[in-house]
Structure 1
Amino acid sequence: MIATLIAIAALCLHVAGVFAATHAVMHTRTAQGAFAWVLGLVLLPYVTLVPYLFLGASHFGGYVDLHRQRQARFFMLHEEAAHPARPGVLPQAAPVGDTRYDAIGRMLNSSMHGGNALFLHVDGEAAFASMFAAIARAERYVLLQFFIIHDDVLGRRLSEALLDRAAAGVEICVLYDSIGSHALPDSYVERLRAGGVHVHRFATRRWRNRFQLNFRNHRKVLVVDGVRGFVGGLNAGDEYLGAKPPLSPWRDTHMGIEGPAVADLQRVFAEDWYWVTGERPPSSPPPERCGRAASLIVATGPADRQESCSLFFTQAIHAARKRVWITTPYFVPDQAVFGALRLAVFRGVDVRILIPCRPDHRTVFMASTLYAHEATLAGVRMFRYQPGFVHQKVMLIDDDTAVVGSMNLDNRSFRLNFEIAALNVDEAFAAEVEAMLVTDFANSEEVNPNDYRRLSYFRRVALHVARLFDPIL
């Protein structure tokens, strides 16, 4: 009797595995990912069915439909806000063109704007000091979005700063990711709400997606009064200030923006806020001109018709003629990005990539190790940062372009996460980023192709096995 029940259960699991495999064939974004899921679901449904429930879906109808219906409308509202037809109000500076990055703007239905002042923050202390100062000066509204908010020392400093401005009559809108901030206690959120702060968590909010670990909102955005904006790699937690060993000191980068590009940060936040609440957050036109930099806000995600994050990196790397320096905590590139890096080497471009020497996710670290080895064989110079964990997401192109944002070089950022970055064309800002990266490379050790050969055979097998999990890393 027991044997019969076990056989029936096994048969049911295999049937369910076949149905799930059919779903994977139809919906997984890459052929490699579909093949990996199908193989596991058909042969080992006992092991793969539950992970597929959490990680298998590659799209979700609700947000996609809303995003595509509302994107044009939000863009129109953004343009109306940026060009107010009111007496005595100067129009925003017209979009500027840069043929190297025009394709990115057309793909994202966005524009590069001149007249921005840029501020580089090379560590968490400097970044949060500037963000707290901006929040303290808020007069009308604060729009805040983090992937992770912790109820720790920094998280409580953040809540106090927001509650203080809310008490002064400033409208505060806070968005956090439901998975990234899974440990955030309800008491933290309720305290903010009791103080007049509008706070919500981002979730895809569809019954078939309620178990999904994909489609995370990985963006980090702060906009104050439509005048000042911030974007980068930092979340609101003590580890981002280097307060939690063994990964400390934590190496991260954020940036501030003042000028016309802030309107695009507002628009991106507004789309996410509307999805969660059904309402538009406050907004106002940004200053016409605060500096000389041209900035393009690059917002990507799984609701886009194209794999926009991967295409963004590919086009940006193709644009390089002198150098491409990249820092990323997770180096698991897809074929398009890896191919762009190799072609850049053949063009004579100085291609360098900085990655951690310490793992925070061991499987990703192992896959990154194998890709780093293969990159060195292709002529890419790979470096491992020694003092602590490097979490910054920065790219320097030639002498005038610097990108700071939330995007990693992995499948999650390319296809599964909502991401954001600022692509900035300005020689002075690029020089600051160059000086920062020169210091980072000086604190790193270059990866040697022989490092892989020195590993034991079983260690090398483990690296190759880890890479099989590319689709979900």
Structure 2
Amino acid sequence: MNYRNHRKNVVVDGKIGYLGGINIGCEYLGQSSRFGDWRDTHLRLKGESVDSLQYRFLLDWNFAAGSDLLRQQKYFPPKKFKGDSPVQIVSSGPDSKDAEIKSLFLKMIYGAEKSVNIQTPYFIPDQSILEALKLMARSGVDVKIMIPDRGDQPFVYAANNSFVGEILDAGARCYRYTKGFLHSKTICIDSRVLSIGTTNMDVRSFKLNFEINAFIYDKERSEYHDRIFAKDIENSEEITKRVYQKRGWKMKVEESVSRLLSPIL
């Protein structure tokens, strides 16, 4: 479905905000027999960044309901909490001229000096993101990509696999998360800059969906995320070149077909 609102944000009393990968449904509580444990990342925010989250929600509400709530001050109460972590709330969608979130992803990747850690259920990048990751891996940056070990949509698993080979050839490392279904959408650079949100690493999120992400410029929070990422690696299987080359002919055919369909998956 094109042009859908893929944002997942909640604002409570204008003071506390949530955003990330979790939808409302039994599977997101790990109660699905099909997916089992659900591995996701959601963010809780306090402070002035909540106003940006509220503003985005009200813009969407006004568009859908035809009303104007932005002028009502009750949705933007004074903030008593003053945090020490700079947070930037960025939204993007097919209604904007620029792919703001993708552009920030590119800036983060090209700015990496040591490491790039990405978790995404859909690794179907466009050419600009793919080339950026390959270039940084060839430059000696430790690029790690973590994807699920199963697909929740037709063709997605094969499409993910079709891009893995290129990343491996460039020197990056790839992992399949095996302890349930990985739905987390995060990118962390050099343990100093972190983004958590609704944006998958795919063309649909970059061009066809309405998305929202938080960009956190904080070393302590980024290091904490990377420790979680390292723990997730313990529950993953690394896709080495040897493992990748052992794929059967059926999988290779599925990958080729899925690669052709990747812009619309």
**TM-score normalised over the length of structure 2:** 0.94
Report the equivalent of 1:262.
50
Report the equivalent of 1:470.
262
Report the equivalent of 2:242.
450
Matches within 5 A, 1:63-102: none
CA distance in 2, matches of 1:470, 1:370: 10
Report the equivalent of 1:392.
184
Cα offset, 1:453, TM superposition: 2.3
Instruction: Identify the structure with the greater strand proportion.
Output: 2
CA distance in 2, matches of 1:364, 1:441: 21
Contact residue 260 and residue 288 of structure 1 kept, 8 A: no
Cα offset, 1:285, TM superposition: 4.1
CA distance in 2, matches of 1:426, 1:435: 14
CA distance in 2, matches of 1:389, 1:373: 22
CA distance in 2, matches of 1:396, 1:461: 33
Report the equivalent of 1:336.
128
Gaps of 5+ in 2: none
Which of 204, 215, 233 lines up with 1:423 in the alignment?
215
Report the equivalent of 2:4.
216
CA distance in 2, matches of 1:438, 1:460: 30
| 1:240 lines up with 2:32 in the alignment | no
CA distance in 1, matches of 2:78, 2:204: 32
Secondary structure of the 2:232 match is helix
Secondary structure of the 1:362 match is coil
Instruction: Identify the structure with the greater helix proportion.
Output: 1
Cα offset, 1:451, TM superposition: 2.6
Contact residue 310 and residue 336 of structure 1 kept, 8 A: no
The superposition leaves residues 10-39 of structure 1 with CA deviations (integer Å, 9 ceiling, x where unpaired) of xxxxxxxxxxxxxxxxxxxxxxxxxxxxxx
Task: Describe the shift of the 1:403–1:357 C-alpha distance in structure 2 as closer, same or farther (beyond 3 A).
Answer: same
Matches within 5 A, 1:360-375: 360-375=152-167
Report the equivalent of 1:315.
107
Which of 174, 183, 189 lines up with 1:382 in the alignment?
174
CA distance in 2, matches of 1:365, 1:243: 22
Contact residue 90 and residue 100 of structure 2 kept, 8 A: no
Secondary structure of the 2:257 match is helix
Contact residue 405 and residue 422 of structure 1 kept, 8 A: yes
The superposition leaves residues 306-352 of structure 1 with CA deviations (integer Å, 9 ceiling, x where unpaired) of 23333232122112111110100000010000011112113321110
Contact residue 274 and residue 280 of structure 1 kept, 8 A: yes
Contact residue 123 and residue 163 of structure 2 kept, 8 A: yes
CA distance in 2, matches of 1:394, 1:371: 18
Report the equivalent of 1:229.
17
Report the equivalent of 1:206.
none
Report the equivalent of 2:148.
356
Which of 226, 231, 235 lines up with 1:434 in the alignment?
226
Contact residue 234 and residue 254 of structure 1 kept, 8 A: yes
In structure 2, give the amino acid aligned to 1:461. Answer: V
| 1:297 lines up with 2:89 in the alignment | yes
Runs of 4+ with deviation above 3 angstroms: none
Task: Describe the shift of the 1:445–1:268 C-alpha distance in structure 2 as closer, same or farther (beyond 3 A).
Answer: same
CA distance in 1, matches of 2:164, 2:233: 16
Contact residue 263 and residue 286 of structure 1 kept, 8 A: no
Cα RMSD for the two superposed structures: 1.4
Secondary structure of the 1:326 match is strand
CA distance in 2, matches of 1:429, 1:280: 36
Contact residue 196 and residue 214 of structure 2 kept, 8 A: yes
Contact residue 310 and residue 415 of structure 1 kept, 8 A: no
CA distance in 1, matches of 2:17, 2:88: 13
The superposition leaves residues 431-450 of structure 1 with CA deviations (integer Å, 9 ceiling, x where unpaired) of 22112111101111110122
Report the equivalent of 1:100.
none
CA distance in 1, matches of 2:160, 2:257: 12
Report the equivalent of 1:3.
none
Contact residue 109 and residue 116 of structure 2 kept, 8 A: yes
Which moves more between the two structures, 285-294 or 411-420? 285-294
Report the equivalent of 1:407.
199
Secondary structure of the 2:195 match is strand
Report the equivalent of 1:460.
252
Cα offset, 1:214, TM superposition: 0.5
Contact residue 259 and residue 286 of structure 1 kept, 8 A: no
Contact residue 147 and residue 182 of structure 2 kept, 8 A: yes
**TM-score normalised over the length of structure 1:** 0.54
CA distance in 2, matches of 1:325, 1:286: 36
Cα offset, 1:289, TM superposition: 4.8
Cα offset, 1:397, TM superposition: 1.1
Task: Describe the shift of the 1:428–1:309 C-alpha distance in structure 2 as closer, same or farther (beyond 3 A).
Answer: closer
The superposition leaves residues 125-172 of structure 1 with CA deviations (integer Å, 9 ceiling, x where unpaired) of xxxxxxxxxxxxxxxxxxxxxxxxxxxxxxxxxxxxxxxxxxxxxxxx
Contact residue 302 and residue 417 of structure 1 kept, 8 A: yes
Gaps of 5+ in 1: 1-212
Q: Answer 1 or 2: higher relative contact order, Cα 8 Å, separation at least 6.
A: 2
